[in-house]
Chains A and B, each alone.
Chain A
Amino acid sequence: MELKQKLKKMIIEELQIEDITPDAIDDEAPLFGEGLCLDSLDAVELVVQLQVYFGVEIKNLEEGRPALQSINTLTEFVNARLSAQ
């Protein structure tokens, strides 16, 4: 399974989003506020689950803010970290 699909599946399962499939998530849509309508507690859960699933750590707001914009930005961030390991 490609990384983008794994991330979408992780978000749906761990953030308990019902009635949506990975394919229905728009890669460009914002994760917070609009789009998936995630909130601050979801952001904390997402940071924890990225570490559990991929061993990738988001250490601060400067790293987290650009990475957590959309599925595409998150995929780029995780890809970059995995390549650097």
Chain B
Amino acid sequence: MKLSIQGIGAVTPLDDYPAPLFRNLADEPNEGQKSAGLYKVEDTSGVFDFVSKKKLRRVDHFSRLGLLAAGRAIEDTDPEIISKQNMGIIVATGFGALETTFGFLDSYIEKGDRLASPTHFSNSVHNAAAAHISICYGIQGPNLTVSQFDLSFICALMTAQIWLYERKADAVLVGACDAFCDVLGYCINEFYKEKKCKSYGFGESAFFFIVTRGDQKSRYGYINDISMGGPDNLDMLHDKDNLMIISPSAVEPCCPDFSRFVKKNDQVVLINQLSAPTDCGTTLFRAMGFGMNIQYLKQGKDGCYGRFNFVKQ
């Protein structure tokens, strides 16, 4: 069953939403720009357009990223099409609220378990963003957070597909959200030094899509053929007219198994984006922006892959 995309919203380290997302893939920030801080989203104040400052007092950066992207997706969707009573929410995250989690662990280490901050704890759980989004926007359907590193977003898409097929929801706000922090930057650099390979770019961003069953007409296009599995049971379409986008794992060395999926005459792009592990969302956004059909393949951990296709019609 295909999914029909009804609304989109994103937050990335690139300013001037949404224009930079629709630039050429070759326009990724260069090394100089990366070191200038393009890993981080410096300003999430746009979220106050959707939720009052008072309500966001205790809400941390990770959840604000999710709230802002989700708010933009809801704003982008025709209210006649969706009902918040029958809308579910699925947030995919590779690492959760890292900075808050480390803050909680620091207070635990420094002051002991009895004096660790309860506010930090409540925000450190992975489903904090999904909870804030459903409370602030009044989404009353099922609520789930998926955390499977690189394959989180594809797993979330599969779940959205099942909810819609089983009519647990008539629309699903599905998205990916990950936040960068200094500890992660340090760990990644050390990890890659040890592995003697170039650092893969981690960054932060949030992407949300409102999807409905495929029989509803879409302004943007459709997602279909979502699947996960090992190299032996994952078939790519090999439509030479559709660009194949291959995205390596953020936590595994680049896998030679990629060659198994590529056939002669396939048009292939290997991406290495700043916004991993939410890069599936970036790619989908860009495919919509350029109005092109894509076959997307994402490498996960331990030889596992995920894939989906995006088609305009």
Instruction: Determine whether the beta carbon of A52 is less than 8 Å from that of B118.
Output: no
**Interchain CB contact (< 8 A) of B115 among A16, A19, A41, A51:** A51
Contact assessment for B119 and A41 in the assembled complex, using a CB-CB cutoff below 8 Å: yes
A-contacting residues, B96-147, CB 8 Å: 111, 114-119, 122
Contacts of A19 in B (CB 8 A): 53
- Return chain A residues, CB-CB under 8 Å to B58: 15-16, 41
CA distance A45 to B104 in the complex (A): 13
Least Cβ distance of A41 to chain B in Å? 6
The answer on a CB contact under 8 Å between A41 and B57 is: no
B99: shortest Cβ distance to chain A, in Å?
A: 14
Is A48 within 8 A of B115, CB to CB? Answer: yes
- The reply to whether A41 and B53 contact each other, CB–CB distance below 8 Å, is no
Q: In the complex, which residues of chain A have a beta carbon less than 8 angstroms from the beta carbon of B111? A: 52
Chain B interface residue count, CB cutoff 8 Å, equals 12
Q: Mark A39-63, 1 if CB is under 8 A from B, else 0.
A: 0010011001001100000000000
Interface size on A (CB < 8 Å)? 13
Q: Give A47 Cβ to nearest chain B Cβ, in Å.
A: 9
Nearest CB in chain A to that of B57: its residue: A16
Residues of A near B115 (CB, < 8 A) are 48, 51-52
Residues of B67-95 whose CB lies within 8 A of A: none
A33 CA to B87 CA, complexed, in Å: 31
Question: Which chain A residues in 14-50 approach chain B with CB under 8 Å?
Answer: 14-19, 37, 41, 44-45, 48
Task: Compute how far the CA of A48 lies from the CA of B57 in the bound complex, rounded to whole angstroms.
Answer: 19
Give the docked Cα–Cα distance between A48 and B119 (Å).
10
Interface centre among B53, B114, B119 (most CB of A within 10 A): B119
Total contacts A to B, CB within 8 angstroms?
29
Q: What is the bound-complex CA distance between A18 and B122, given in angstroms?
A: 20
| B57 and A18 within 8 A (CB) | yes
Query: CA separation between A54 and B250, bound complex, in Å?
Result: 45
A44/B118 in contact, CB under 8 A: yes
CB proximity of B57 to chain A, nearest CB, Å: 5
Minimum CB–CB distance for B93 against chain A, Å: 22
Instruction: Please indicate the chain A residues that have their CB under 8 angstroms from the CB of B53 in the complex.
Output: 18-19
Distance between Cα atoms of A6 and B122 in the complex (Å): 26
Q: A16-B58, A18-B53 are in contact. Are A48 and B117 (CB under 8 A)?
A: yes
Q: Are A17 and B57 in contact (CB under 8 A)?
A: yes
A45 touches B117 (CB 8 A): yes
A50 and B264 alpha carbons, distance in the complex (Å): 68
CB distance from B54 to the nearest CB of A (A): 8
Residues of A within 8 A of B117 (CB): 14, 45, 48
Q: Which residues of B contact A44 (CB under 8 A)?
A: 118
Within 8 A of B (CB), among A52-82: 52
From B54, B57, B115, name the one whose CB has the most chain A CB atoms within 10 angstroms: B57
Q: Are B57 and A45 in contact (CB under 8 A)?
A: no
Say which residue of A16, A41, A51, A52 sits within 8 Å of B122 (CB atoms): A41
Chain B residues near A52 (CB, 8 Å)?
Answer: 111, 115
Binding site for B on A (CB under 8 A): 14-19, 37, 41, 44-45, 48, 51-52
Q: Other than A41-B58, A45-B119, A51-B114, give 15 A-B pairs with Cβ distance below 8 A.
A: A14-B117, A15-B57, A16-B119, A17-B57, A18-B53, A19-B53, A41-B122, A45-B117, A48-B114, A48-B115, A48-B116, A48-B117, A48-B118, A51-B115, A52-B115
Can you give 17 contacting A-B residue pairs, CB < 8 Å?
A14-B117, A16-B119, A17-B57, A18-B53, A18-B57, A19-B53, A41-B58, A41-B118, A41-B122, A44-B118, A45-B118, A45-B119, A48-B115, A48-B117, A48-B118, A51-B115, A52-B115
